[in-house]
Amino acid sequence: MLLPKFETYFYLGIYLLFLAHGLFKLYNKKDQVLSIANVEFQQGWTWIDRPQDNTNEEFEYFKDFLWKNAHWYLIHLLVCESFRYLKQSRRSIAHACVGIAFLVATFKIHSFLVIVIELLSFYAASNVRSKSFTWVLAISWMCGINFIKNSNELYEFLGYREYYELIISLAWCVLKCLSFTLGKIKDEHNKIYNLSNFIGYTVYFPAFVHGPFMIFDRYIAFAEHPSQGSRYMLLLKRLIRVFFWLFALDFSLHFIYIHYMEKDIDAVKLLGDSYGLYAFGYFMGQFFHVFYVITYGLGIAFASFDGLNPPNQPKCIGYINFYSDMWKYFDQGLYEFLFKHIYAELCTKNSTSLRKVFSALGTFFFVYIWHGYYLNILIWSILNVACLILEKLLKYTIDSSWYKENVIKRLSLQNQQRLYAILGTQIFIPSAFSNFYFFSGLEIVL
């Protein structure tokens, strides 16, 4: 079902003009944003001689983490290569040794013990073999993590760096522990669910703090590369791509202060018309995407080198047509967890539509609790599930006999494609709008 080439190129041209003009509007407001900013930007690269937007704490922390822990990636590489030709369980021991050594060297004893208690509690739950108990334990830990997020005393005691690392690590570990424990309950006689694989999986260093998340099936599915040379070339290529995008993002923040604009409604108002706001929303998503291409890309590079089977890197949001694809392809690891351990447990392919809606609500309730029970996260979750349900209704309508008899027979294949694009766009608009709540909170939207 293809449109004429001229029409396709016309749409592509309009799209590229929109991006170029929108990017120019953001660039053109850089000095005005500086003049009204209520924070002082850091001095950027000396050869550029411009202030650099350093208001995105996650990105600034990642750069700091990478600089201070580069030696741990090298240690991981050397230790795991030494164990590479041993059997699977021994390689998990290597992963565990590096991960535990990193925790001991990096965290205060209080943070280290909290992580150890979390891991041991889930491993004990895996031996209880009760789904209900496992989910109660998981929700309890997520509530505890949210308590830590709101504890000023812990923030002052640990300092920002360790405080941030502890929260992120605990959150990732909840997912990993659930993936292991629920898998063990379902397949209790499989010998892969042992202590060495559990520890190696949960504290695997390259993906411990910054992801990506891998379900246990991906971690345990070792996939050898054909030759030693090709493995090193693959690692090098992926690391070059990661650092290219790191350089590009860091460079762009000298001229486009989009991270600051996410936090200041007065800066957003400088864009003036609705067109400027559309550009702001789009590039806010693109900057977010590039950040995760960098952070996830680093973990993917080392996991692939180690013979694991990590998920793909986030798909560019410019290629997303349906919002369900955003969940499937932006964070593939998280999607696989949600689908396998929650949605597919609550319904099947042949379940009623009402049951599927209930399952979607249950899935996004978990998403809400895991991200943190804040009002903007709740609104973002509700809008997401509403748009996904609308998308399901659209697809159900298209597959119905009424649609086939009354619409398809009267439209050419090209007109059907144009109609799908129009309908899909209407559903995508509110789902894209929901990301303002996720990125910026309530202030920018309200």
User: Which phi and psi (to 5°) does residue 205 adopt?
Assistant: -60, -50
Contact 363, 387 (CB under 8 A): no
243 is written with which tokens? 């650092």
35 is written with which tokens? 């003049």
Q: Token match 């369980």: residue?
A: 89
Contact 77, 70 (CB under 8 A): no
Residue partners of 327: CB distance under 8 A and separation at least 6: 335, 338, 384, 388
Contact 223, 309 (CB under 8 A): yes
Among positive and negative, which fits the CA dihedral 211, 215, 220, 221?
A: negative
The Cα 23–Cα 348 span in angstroms is: 44
Identify the H or E element spanning 42: strand 42-43
Residue partners of 336: CB distance under 8 A and separation at least 6: 215, 218, 311
Contact 211, 172 (CB under 8 A): yes
Contact 203, 95 (CB under 8 A): yes
The Cα 70–Cα 61 span in angstroms is: 14
- Note if 371 is an active site residue: yes
Which of 341, 321, 311, 317 is closest to 439 using CA atoms? 317
The Cα 12–Cα 27 span in angstroms is: 22
20 is written with which tokens? 């170029």
Q: What residues are labeled active site?
A: 371
